């Protein structure tokens, strides 16, 4: 197992209620499984996952275990909860190699039916009213029919005005979602949800703090759904499901410890009657493509948060899963991504 650090600048920083993401640092993970190459990506996002340093330490530890005792031993040195990005890096590398060896695209290796495209949502940042409307209108022109708008960084009334302006600009046939990143109090969330009924907002992602499962459970029941995202960085999937706290789970492979874990979480959500939206943490192309395969492995996925490549000013490889007309093209080559030519010489 070989580990190589990278850093990617963002062209368009993503500002959320919790701060601004303006660059992404991580590691490429190269493995050889019985003669077949696999490449994974571990791109930790502190606050959501372990730190870059902890990720590096965990990958080094897993690498040593792999050398002496094999891949299973390497996995037992990593946990979903403590080192999810490191586990993601190793898991993506291994499932890339295994699906490549089996000569099938990764989503088929996961058990998915043949599928060419997955619908994606546009991700609209936390600008003022005018900026938000411009971004929303541009996204519609690009072919998106689902928009996810960041809220929670300003007064609730200002966010309601932003969503109202977007609804007026885009008309009734566009699905609107909002993501508060845990910024609201229970009262603020109630005020926002009440206003969002008339604006036909499909769901709000993480209106309350990650640990307030009871508060989220109490917000449910109206026409505006509750989606949980940060809550899954803090609690096990089963805990969240048992709390009856959500209509939708937001499934981030980098946060859940790998594409395999993300698929399991999505299937569990569906079994429990919830929907699952697969999204990235603004990852490099390899992890983003892994997330695309997770979404493509589900039958009829909803619009997913996979349209994040264009936020990067540079990327690891040419985009294996480009967006066209509001949909992601699912790679059909064996493995996760077509051989990116960065294996042997690096
Ligand atoms: O879901 C999307 O549309 C894109 C991904 C996204 O919003 C995101 C990206 C990085 C960190 C957190 C989040 C989030 O969903 O809160
Ligand atoms: Mg979110």
Asked whether residue 76 falls in the same domain as residue 116, the answer is no
Asked whether residue 70 falls in the same domain as residue 198, the answer is no
Tell me which of 12, 13, 14 to substitute to probe ligand 1's pocket, judged by most ligand atoms within 8 Å of the beta carbon: 14
Asked whether residue 274 falls in the same domain as residue 315, the answer is yes
Residue with tokens 């229970």: 186
pLDDT at 12: 85
Q: Which domain holds residue 143?
A: 110-329
Q: What's the CATH number where 27 sits?
A: 3.30.390.10
Convert the pLDDT of each residue in 133-152 to its tens digit.
Answer: 999 999 999 999 999 999 99
Q: Would the pLDDT of 346 be above 50?
A: no
Q: Which residue has the least CA distance to atom 3 on ligand 1?
A: 305
Q: How many other C-beta atoms lie within 10 A of the C-beta of residue 211?
A: 12
Q: Would the pLDDT of 235 be above 50?
A: yes
Q: Would the pLDDT of 339 be above 90?
A: no
Work out the burial of residue 171: count CB atoms within 10 Å of its CB; fewer than 13 is exposed, 13-18 middle, 19 or more buried.
exposed
In ligand 1, the atom with minimum distance to the C-alpha of 280 is: 5
Instruction: Assess if residue 341 is contained within a domain.
Output: no
Convert the pLDDT of each residue in 164-218 to its tens digit.
Answer: 999 999 999 999 999 999 999 999 999 999 999 999 999 999 999 999 999 999 9
Catalytic annotation, pick one of 100, 108, 148, 150: 150
Give the residue-averaged pLDDT of 272-281: 98
Instruction: Assess if residue 346 is contained within a domain.
Output: no
Instruction: Assess if residue 315 is contained within a domain.
Output: yes
Predicted ipTM of the assembly: 0.99
Q: Report pTM.
A: 0.97
In ligand 1, the atom with minimum distance to the C-alpha of 230 is: 16
Instruction: Assess if residue 293 is contained within a domain.
Output: yes
Domain end residue (candidates: 57, 74, 103): 103
**To the nearest whole percent, how much of the chain has pLDDT over 90?**
93
Q: Which residue has the least CA distance to atom 11 on ligand 1?
A: 281
Q: What is the number of alpha carbons within 13 Å of residue 202 lying toward its C-beta?
A: 18
Instruction: Assess if residue 337 is contained within a domain.
Output: no
Instruction: Assess if residue 334 is contained within a domain.
Output: no
Q: Which residue has the least CA distance to atom 13 on ligand 1?
A: 281
What one-character DSSP code corresponds to residue 79? -
Q: Would the pLDDT of 252 be above 90?
A: yes
Ligand 1 contacts (CB < 6 A) are 14, 16, 121, 123, 148, 179, 181, 229, 279-282, 305, 308
Short-list 151, 76, 118, 74, CA closest to 288: 118
Cα 281 to ligand 1 centre (Å):
6
pLDDT at 342: 55
Phi, psi of 11 (to 5 degrees): -80, -40
**To the nearest whole percent, how much of the chain has pLDDT over 70?**
97
* Strands in the chain per DSSP E: 2-16, 19-33, 36-42, 117-119, 122-124, 146-150, 175-179, 201-205, 225-228, 248-251, 275-278, 323-324, 327-329
CA gap 336, 39 in Å, rounded: 8
Cα 24 to ligand 1 centre (Å):
13
Instruction: Assess if residue 136 is contained within a domain.
Output: yes
In ligand 1, the atom with minimum distance to the C-alpha of 279 is: 1
205 is in an annotated binding site: yes
- Does residue 116 have an active-site annotation? no
pLDDT at 343: 46
Short-list 340, 318, 311, CA closest to 20: 311
Asked whether residue 91 falls in the same domain as residue 171, the answer is no
In ligand 1, the atom with minimum distance to the C-alpha of 277 is: 1
Cα 344 to ligand 2 centre (Å):
37
- Does residue 252 have an active-site annotation? yes
Convert the pLDDT of each residue in 46-83 to its tens digit.
Answer: 999 999 999 999 999 999 999 999 999 999 999 888 99
Asked whether residue 76 falls in the same domain as residue 128, the answer is no
CA gap 317, 327 in Å, rounded: 20
Beta carbons of 166 and 130 less than 8 angstroms apart: no
Instruction: Assess if residue 268 is contained within a domain.
Output: yes
Q: Domains in the chain: how many in total?
A: 2
């Amino acid at each position: 197992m070989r580990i190589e650090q990278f850093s990617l600048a963002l062209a368009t920083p993503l500002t959320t209620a919790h701060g601004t993401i303006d660059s992404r640092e991580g590691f490429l993970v190269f493995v050889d499984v019985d003669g077949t190459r696999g490449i994974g990506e571990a791109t930790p996002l502190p606050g959501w996952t372990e730190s870059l340093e902890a990720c590096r330490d965990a990958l080094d530890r897993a690498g040593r275990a792999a050398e002496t005792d094999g891949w299973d031993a390497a996995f037992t040195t990593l946990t979903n909860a403590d080192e999810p990005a490191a586990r993601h890096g190793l898991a993506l590398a291994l499932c890339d190699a295994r699906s490549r060896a089996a000569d099938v695209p990764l989503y088929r290796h996961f058990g998915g039916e043949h599928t060419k495209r997955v619908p994606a949502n546009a991700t609209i940042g936390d600008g003022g009213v005018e900026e938000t409307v411009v971004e929303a209108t541009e996204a519609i022109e690009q072919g998106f029919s689902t928009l996810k708008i960041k809220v929670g960084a300003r007064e609730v009334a200002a966010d309601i005005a932003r969503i109202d302006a977007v609804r007026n600009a885009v008309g009734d046939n566009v699905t609107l979602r909002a993501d508060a990143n845990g910024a609201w109090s229970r009262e603020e969330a109630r005020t926002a949800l009440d206003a969002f009924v008339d604006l036909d907002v499909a769901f709000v992602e993480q209106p309350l703090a990650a640990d307030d499962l009871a508060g989220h459970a109490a917000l449910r029941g109206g026409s505006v759904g509750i989606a949980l995202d940060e809550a899954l960085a803090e609690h096990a999937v089963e805990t969240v499901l048992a709390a009856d706290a959500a209509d939708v789970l937001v499934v981030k492979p980098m946060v859940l410890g790998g594409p395999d874990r993300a698929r399991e979480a999505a299937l569990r959500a569906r079994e429990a009657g919830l929907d699952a939206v697969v999204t990235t943490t603004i990852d490099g192309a390899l992890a983003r493509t892994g997330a695309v395969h997770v979404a493509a492995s589900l039958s009829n996925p909803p619009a997913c948060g996979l349209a994040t490549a264009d936020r990067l000013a540079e990327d690891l490889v040419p985009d294996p899963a480009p967006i066209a007309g509001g949909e992601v093209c699912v790679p059909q080559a064996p493995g996760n991504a077509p051989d990116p030519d960065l294996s042997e010489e690096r």
